[in-house]
Amino acid sequence: MSPIDSFYINGIHVAEIGESVMCFCDVPYFANIGCAASHKEALELSPNITCITVKDKARAWEPSHEETYPIIFNGVIEAIRDYDNKTAYPSQDHCVCELKLTDTHYFEGPNSFPWKGSFTKDCATWETHDIETALSLFWHVHEYIRKK
């Protein structure tokens, strides 16, 4: 089980796809191919994205790869045709990050650290000037996670 309950950057929940989309800031994110649940995150990052659903666990719909091929093909063609309306996640000159833990883990924070931020037993926060540094610090903060 993951020790992470949630991770936010500038108020946006970062999960499966957020890190990649944020790192390619200012590049249009025009199609999200995935499960129905991933589309929520995709739409937060790029509101004009074309969402191509290839499975939906909530409805127990998990088609074969033969069934998904035409769904993906037609969806990508539609997204390309609408490319001029697609948006990108904007570059950020200030990132506020928050990493919360599940109740099975805690932070054993250091006495001092070389970045702007703080630790409580179940939450770490930090600030940076760009997304790359924000995500790099995620792994430094991650080193302070301990199992209860």
In the chain, where the domains are located: 4-13+91-147, 28-85
| Strand blocks (E) in the chain | 4-9, 12-13, 31-35, 50-55, 95-101, 105-107, 116-119, 123-128, 145-147
Which pLDDT belongs to residue 57? 85
HSE value, Cβ hemisphere, 13 Å, CA-based, for 56:
9
Is pTM beyond 0.75? Reply is: yes
Query: What are the residues whose beta carbons fall under 8 Å from the beta carbon of 59, sequence distance 6 or more?
Result: 36
Query: What are the residues whose beta carbons fall under 8 Å from the beta carbon of 7, sequence distance 6 or more?
Result: 13, 14, 15, 97, 98, 99, 100, 138
Query: In the chain, which residues have pLDDT < 70?
Result: none
Residue with tokens 């093909």: 73
Which pLDDT belongs to residue 146? 97
Residue with tokens 């991933």: 38
